[in-house]
Amino acid sequence: MNILNGAMARFPAGVLGLLAILTGTATAAEPAISGADGRVGLDVTVYNQDLALVREIRTVELPQGIFTLEFRDVPSRIDPVTLLVSGGGDSGFELLEQNYEFDLISPDKILEKYVGRKLSWLQEDGSRIEGTLLSVANGPVFEVGEEIVFEVPGRLALPTMPANLRARPTLVWLVQTRKSGAAELETSYLTRGISWTADYVLQLDSEGAEADLQAWVTVNNRTGAAFEEANLLLVAGDLNQVQPSRENLRMATAYMADVEKGFTEETLYDYHLYTLGRPTTLKDNQIKQISLYESQGLAVVKHYRLGSQPHFFRSLGQLSDRPRVMVSYSFANTSDNNMGMPLPAGVVRVYGTSTSGSRQMLGEDRIDHTPQDETCLLY
């Protein structure tokens, strides 16, 4: 045994890990578990269309040696090839292998695992009918006795839950450590299914000469996971991505204003990064609106525009193709006009006030990114 130990000591750690994988002697029987309850830090950086970068810090109890670690509570639309893992303190944490397991529990999935196996049906009198599941393609097919049947009376009973089915998508890692103990792991990954947009409400006064502007950020989370008490960050800029199809995914440029406990802006290389000043929770299948800023007393100008073919303006008689007059409002995006901040691309809904004081919608228009000190025009 001493000779063997001396020989093993001369091998590098990576070779020892490979030997342990091949022999299976060092792999723990029960996997280590890391869930959302172990999070001590969570950042969610959202882009405009169907993409987010998630950064998590979790405290994990690590055993020593080579073992399986289940990293649970990840989005169902995660892109596992974008995963980056670091940390582990002095445990010598090393990620050897990763599997993304998304074979989720459902009646159809359970039956698929029982193809070719025995099962039974419970009868009202307590007796059982036994048979074999032959196929589940286009509906289950059973062999009961010497007959092939498609439906069997009674309640279908399966002896055990099939292996390798999960309640939620899970990252399963093969990990090697030098020592056991609690350690913090930092992970980051990209996920689809989440986006943000900007929406505006422009309220005109009764004269149509001044207006109040209210801006909102709308975050739509359909990633298949909830992000509790997350630091929310929004990125503005045209993000170039490699696409598997011809569809061109463009990230609209946007900007946020500083407000108390609202968004603060900083330059990130050639982009702008906007951070919400307080943690927020993004539930799965939830649309959340967060106040961006408000501005009062904007001076607005109404415009009438008549456009048509040249013969309309040269004609002296009555024309049947008389065009409609286009109505628009504009305001200067300057500090002198109680604004002076870049406006994210989004939809502006314009409201007016009737003589009775009630609010009435006048129309809506979509604006592109409007830099500071330029004019915003709404038709």
| Sheet strand arrangement including 375-378 | 359-367, 346-353, 194-204, 210-221, 286-306, 325-332, 375-378
pLDDT digits (tens, 9 = 90+) for 304-314: 987 666 665 56
Contact 225, 76 (CB under 8 A): yes
Whether pLDDT at 115 is above 90:
no
Res 22: pLDDT = 41
CA 282 to chain centre: 9
Q: Are strands 181-191 and 52-62 parallel, antiparallel or unpaired?
A: antiparallel
The Cα–Cα gap between 287 and 58 comes to 26
177-186, 250-259, 265-274, 352-361: which is most confident: 177-186
Mean pLDDT score, 254-279? 64
Instruction: State the DSSP string of 83-140.
Output: EEEEE-GGG--EEEEEEEE--B--HHHHHHHTTTSEEEEE-TTS-EEEEEEEE-TTS-
Residue ranges of alpha helices (H) inside the chain are 2-9, 13-23, 107-113, 310-314
**Burial readout 309-324 (b: 16 or more C-beta within 10 A, e: otherwise):** eeeeeeeeeeeeeeee
Give percent of the chain above pLDDT 70: 78
- Bigger pLDDT: 265 vs 210: 210
- Least confident window among 10-24, 208-222, 271-285, 317-331: 10-24
What one-letter code names the amino acid at 77?
R
pLDDT one-digit tens code per residue, 177-205: 999 999 999 999 999 999 998 899 999 99
- The arithmetic mean of pLDDT across residues 159-178, rounded, is 81
pLDDT in tens, 16-26: 444 444 444 34
Rounded percentage of the chain residues whose pLDDT exceeds 90? 41
Mean pLDDT of all residues in 192-220: 91
- Of the two residues 12 and 73, the one the predictor is more confident about is 73
pTM of the model: 0.70
∠ Cα 44 273 342 (to 5°): 130
Which residue in 376, 199, 203 sits closest to 297, CA to CA? 203
Taking all residues of the chain, what is their mean pLDDT, rounded to a whole number?
80
- Edge to edge, the sheet with strand 65-71 lists 32-34, 65-71, 170-177, 94-101
Let me know: does 46 contact 233? Beta carbons within 8 Å: yes
Alpha carbon 215 to chain centroid distance? 22
Strands 271-276 and 227-236: antiparallel
Closest CA to 237 of 68, 46, 372: 46
> Is the model's pLDDT at 264 over the cut of 90?
no
Per the structure block, which two tokens stand in for 323? 């065009």
